[in-house]
Amino acid sequence: MENQSNEAPVAAAAAAEVSSTTQPAEPTKRSLRVLTWKKIQEGKVGIGFNGIFNRIPAFVDADKAAALLIQEEEFKKAQHIKVNIDRALHDFKELSMLANKAVYLPSTRDSPALCLKVDVPADATDDQKKEALRVQDIQKFRSEIGLDSNLKLDLVVIGSVVVSRDGYRIGRGNGFADLDIGLLIELGVITPETAIVTIVHDVQVVDTLPVNLFQKYDTPVDIIVTPTEVIRVSKRLPRPSGVFWELLSERRLKILPVLQQLKEQLEKSGKKITLKEEDTDIEQHQNSRRRRGPLRRRFQRGNPGRTTSQTDNEQQGDNGQKRTPRRKGRFINRRRRTNKSEGDQSGVEVGVKSEDRKFDEGGAGERRPKKKNRPHRDFCVKLTNLTRDIRVKDLKTELRKRECNPLSITWKGHFGKCFLHFGNRNGAPSTQDDVDKVLKSLNDLSLTITTGGGESAPAAGAEEPPAESANAPMQTKTINVNVELLKFGVKKNAGGNTSAGEGGNANVNGEDGSATNVGEGGASRIESVDTTTV
């Protein structure tokens, strides 16, 4: 009854506190987050512009807060400590490792593990222990803790955006931290004896928060540690009883395989689990479009990079205003398209920049990202002794006759050379015979071209011929092309000469016209040549 009587004045005070900036009808979790982020930014206690808004903020003097926490009895008695991966908690993780505590980290989203244990050798130095925390590869210094483990945590340290002195906590808004705590409670990893601690800056601590904002799945804290003080909650608030399956959608279970695995185990044991029928979960970073431009353009309108969450939508209801969609670019890319006289339409890539830009049918210039599944090009063949009369379609025609099909062609005809790139779209490794097959098809390579008569267009990048040569009689000439194999990762000798047996470069058609065998060199990886007709 006492809490209910104080609920109205607490809500009114919070509304008056945030009305000067956000002016909501009632304080929401979102408005309290924004207010706190602005306090951190204006007080210049945050670390980095991108390390404040829409996340657990990183702040100065976090090492001082960590030093205070390790002096508490809860830390000294603890053997198994789980720490979230927020940047503000990194100093505490290092101190825990140096104190020879068993440190556990959250597992990755696509992992079926409950958490990850940081494993270091017993005789590891302090620098090696710190390095073990910085490793991103979970296969190194990490061991997965499954659902069937008998782990009991003594201390759990999480980050917060806003926290009150009576133990209420507001996170970044995506709900994953609360869901992780509920999962650990469901499995008995977090017991009533486990202390839940948060490390925040002093400006993130308020006296009270509106009680009506918090639901049964929200996680309270027992101890609040700042760079200047340690705040102990006088009366522990109720913790979540476990995982509330009726609030989860099928899609959320697919995002977290560990939940799906737990659901299957419970159903096998006879428990009936009902999920939320309507998928109302709103994930962050829905817009997959790659952001471009400087940061000042990215955040100059509205709230800085605001993202929504399920709790925000529940609190805003029908009063929430829809955000205006971002306007498309006003400037149309007017890059000149390649015409038929500059390249053949056979599908071979001419130059590495030919696929950088595509234009839609409406004519709007919109940059499309490069293909992510572009096949790896592991070796190429350099063609030299090209004249300015040669066009790229003359080379393509000759290559098709010889059944030589590169992945792409980098054409530099105005410099008298070009590069044929080879690789494999399927990813199967190749042998030296495949490389020899390519070189054999290019043996005695020569191009027959017709000049004069005013019919042939100049090569791409070549200068316009003089007017008097436009009416010159038609002439047919044959040009011998030099072929040189290049393997990626092989450097030329200081003198400029290369050896096929030592490095992997080989002249097939040299100036003397003789063929040279390719050595088995190579530290570079070579995959099979894709012979699909281009």
Q: What is the mean pLDDT of residues 385-398?
A: 87
Segment 374-391 mean pLDDT: 82
Going by C-beta distance under 8 Å and a sequence separation of 6 or more, which residues neighbour residue 492? 498, 503, 505
CA distance 134 to 194: 26
Kindly list the domain boundaries of the chain, sorted by start residue: 29-243, 379-450+477-486
Tell me, letter by letter, the H, E, C secondary structure of 455-490.
Answer: CCCCCCCCCCCCHHHCCCCCEEEEEECEEEEEECCC
Q: What pLDDT, on a 0 to 100 scale, did the predictor assign at position 136? A: 67
Residue 499, pLDDT above cutoff 70 = no
Span of 162-166, 266-270, 340-344, 421-425 with lowest mean pLDDT: 340-344
What's this model's pTM, rounded to 2 decimal places? 0.53
Residue 443: band (very low, low, confident or very high) from pLDDT cuts 50, 70, 90: confident
Provide the pLDDT for residue 335: 56
The pLDDT value given to residue 323: 53
The reported pLDDT for the residue numbered 461 is 45
Instruction: With cut-offs at 50, 70 and 90, classify the pLDDT of residue 450.
Output: confident
Task: Give the CATH number of domain 379-450+477-486.
Answer: 3.30.70.330
At 248, list the tokens: 């989860």
pLDDT for residue 388 = 82
The mean of the pLDDT values for the chain is 74
Percent of the chain with pLDDT over 90: 33
Could you tell me which residue, 346 or 441, shows the higher pLDDT? 441
Range name among 136-150, 286-300, 398-412, 418-432 with the lowest pLDDT average: 286-300
Are the C-beta atoms of 101 and 90 separated by less than 8 Å? no
Q: What's the pLDDT score for residue 430?
A: 65
3 state SS of 22? coil
Residue 145's pLDDT band, with cuts at 50, 70 and 90, is very high
What pLDDT was estimated at residue 427?
A: 66
**pLDDT at residue 183, as a whole number:** 93
Identify the weakest region by mean pLDDT among 66-80, 182-196, 278-292, 426-440: 278-292
CATH number, domain 29-243 = 3.40.50.10420
Parallel, antiparallel, or unpaired: how do β-strands 475-480 and 446-451 relate?
A: antiparallel
**Who wins on pLDDT, 112 or 429?**
112
Residue 463: pLDDT band with limits 50, 70, 90: very low
Q: pLDDT (tens digit, 9 = 90+) per residue, 170-194?
A: 999 888 899 999 999 999 999 999 9
Whose CA is closest to 256, among 59, 390, 143, 113?
113
Query: Is 90 exceeded by the pLDDT of residue 312?
Result: no
pLDDT band at 10 (very low <50, low <70, confident <90, very high): very low
Give residue-wise pLDDT tens across range 205-259.
999 999 999 999 999 999 999 999 999 999 999 999 999 999 888 888 888 889 9
Confidence of residue 153 (pLDDT cuts 50, 70, 90): very high
Does the pLDDT value for residue 372 go beyond 80? no
The rounded distance, in Å, linking the Cα atoms of 513 and 508 is 8
